[in-house]
Amino acid sequence: MSVNQFIKPITTERKADLYIGGCNLLDLATVYGTPLYVIDEQSLRTICREYKHTFAENENIILTYASKALCNLTISKIISDEGFGFDTVSAGEIYTVYKAGADMKKVTFNGNNKTQKEIELALDLNVGRFSVDNFYEAELLNNVAESKNMQAKVLLRITPGIECHTHDYIKTGQIDSKFGFDLSQIDEIIELIVNKYKNINLMGLHAHIGSQIFELQSYSDEIEILVKELVLINQKYNLNLNELNIGGGLGVKYIEHDTPPTIEEFSEVVIKAIKSSCKKYNIDLPFVYIEPGRSIVSTSGVTLYTIGSIKQVPEGRKYIAIDGGMADNPRPSLYHAKYSAEIANDTYGRELEAVTIAGRYCESGDILIENINLPSPKAGDIICVYNTGAYNYSMASNYNRVEKPAMVLVNNSQSDIIVNRESVEDLIRLEEVPDRLK
């Protein structure tokens, strides 16, 4: 099995209490407080190495981690040390991976509305590739690069018209999408690059069809379209484009009935599709970028909460309220995302109850998990929610003026703080009251 097929980190142990990375989760909650993001280093490195191993014989494939899933200095350093490049979508992500020591030649810059300042920073830090998303960006990038007397190496992001079976909010490859050029617009943008934008060096094409994908045929279809378009462009414009970025999106197992493909199955489909498409169109194998994000980091992360109030609705549900919720994990509210959880402390002798885990925030929709069976929860119990490494910390907010949680890295019975908990002083640190109001 691949780590993306596990709900829990690979080091998870139930003794009396729950342990991850050799650390007692109750001790972590006591030392660092809750809510608390916990990252298992062994799980993270294992999944990186599995990706590297499955693609190892294909020198033309470049693995770049999708930083939007989880980006901070420590996570970026670990993933860089494991040999990955980075897919970034903002100046903040670019600067973070740069400070973490990433090889900037292996960094791509994506996004549908890059600002001039972000483009300037990316050029100054020698980001390897820009994924150009629209006509406005192409002109802006060319102008900024020209002002710096630089050449920007570019992939054109296209929408291949592929509908993958995932939540509408995380589909990106369909025709009606905010991302990328429609195939009918390819000629127009190529003409501009070839004839007008002299500071853009076109290298190839990019597509990304979505996230939390279980159907591998979608990747075969995408690769077929990308290779075909690459051949047509090269023939029509007498170019020699030889790079493709197929995005990422491989799914993970959040709950028991989820059945994501293994990384090996994913790699087999991708490699087969690339080789067969290139053979069909009689071209050499291009360089291929792959951008896994969620499947790299999700399973290695858990979030710890403390149970507070408990409410039994007469003839209705039993709510157990935790000290976090939609501000540190907005995914259930955004996409009705499902999670698995258990009580981390010893619950010997308790009977199972069907309960709903509710957040602390002032929204009726702040429900983390509905109708989960747990051993008779009590105030003060520590809840461990699994598979929160991706899109929890990265999407966290200060809603209700609540401080963002800390994050710790665990490995070999050692825990290290990698993101400090915010304080109430942090909440007002950037604010100013005008002198006339003092």
Which ranges of 294-365 would DSSP assign to H, the alpha helix?
294-297, 331-335
C-alpha 244/C-alpha 205 separation (Å) is 5
Please pick, among 23, 71, 278, 362, the residue that the annotation labels catalytic: 362
3, 44 Cβ separation under 8 angstroms: no
Which residues make Cβ contacts (< 8 Å) with residue 297, sequence separation at least 6?
A: 39, 44, 47, 65, 69, 70, 75, 389, 390
Sheet containing 13-14: order of strands = 13-14, 18-20, 23-24
Alpha carbon 53 to its chain's center: 21
Which residues make Cβ contacts (< 8 Å) with residue 38, sequence separation at least 6?
A: 20, 21, 23, 25, 28, 301, 302, 303, 304, 407, 408, 410
Q: How many CB atoms lie within 10 A of CB 437?
A: 5
Q: Whose CA is closest to 61, among 245, 222, 263, 219?
A: 245
What residue type is assigned to position 403 of the chain? E
Q: Given the structure tokens 């087969």, which residue do they identify?
A: 272
Please state the φ and ψ torsions of residue 437, each to the nearest 5 degrees: -100, -5
141, 119 Cβ separation under 8 angstroms: yes
3-state secondary structure of 409: strand
362 is catalytic: yes
Distances from the Cα of 339 to the Cα of 68, 239, 317, 367, 413, angstroms: 20, 48, 18, 11, 26
C-alpha 172/C-alpha 83 separation (Å) is 27
213, 250 Cβ separation under 8 angstroms: yes
Angle subtended by helix axes 135-147 and 116-124, to nearest 10? 50
Q: Given the structure tokens 């802006």, which residue do they identify?
A: 140
Catalytic residues: 362
